[in-house]
Amino acid sequence: MSAEHLLEFAWGLAGSGYAFLWNVRPDLVKGDAAALPPEFAAATGERSMLTTWCPQAEVLEHEAVGVFLTHSGWNSTLESIAGGVPMVCWPFFAEQQTNCRYKRTEWGIGAEIPDDVRRGEVEALIREAMDGEKGREMRRRVAELRESAVAAAKPGGRSVHNIDRLIDEVLMA
């Protein structure tokens, strides 16, 4: 992403008024270090926590997480569904656009940040995802998907059945 996009997102996040954990990797900005101005820390104060790494799956399992900003890679998508957390998607390349589209249009568990990100749009998306009708619907739908995923992974579930079948057909043949 560009430095301008980073700042627009940051100020939209600050303007939302919500507490947040933000994993800001040093390589986030293309060709430069990801740097936020001192005013950002002053504006967000104690409601923000910035880090360069966190155990994403564990964080997404925490009850305090209301929405997850993701580039929409498949692993992040699965971890968010497993945690029952709706997503605000900001895809960049590869399968991310397809995953984002499915989350928005097919599954109803995500919203998308436009390519030309602006702070007002980010602020509105976060507020809607946290407190709006669309956000409530996304939480309801991701909870349903989470239940399906948990059931599939239990003994006798579809995923367990399919892996057992794979072992029988490929490895035991």
Quote the radius of gyration of the chain (alpha carbons, Å). 18
pLDDT at residue 145, as a whole number: 97
SS3 assignment, position 140: helix
pLDDT at residue 31, as a whole number: 83
pLDDT at residue 99, as a whole number: 97
pLDDT per residue rounded down to tens, the chain (173 residues) = 899 999 999 999 999 999 999 999 888 888 888 889 999 999 999 999 999 999 999 999 999 999 999 999 999 999 999 999 999 999 999 999 999 999 999 999 999 999 899 999 999 999 999 999 999 999 999 999 999 999 999 999 999 999 999 999 998 87
pLDDT at residue 150, as a whole number: 94
Taking the alpha carbons of 131, 68, 56, 152 in that order, is the dihedral positive or negative?
Answer: positive
User: What DSSP letter does each residue of 147-168 carry, written as one string?
Assistant: HHHHHHHSTTSHHHHHHHHHII
Rounded to whole angstroms, the Cα distance separating 106 from 100 reads 10
Nearest to 64 by CA among 107, 20, 121: 20
pLDDT at residue 59, as a whole number: 98
pLDDT at residue 33, as a whole number: 81
Model's pTM, two decimal places?
0.89
Domains of the chain: 3-171 (3.40.50.2000)
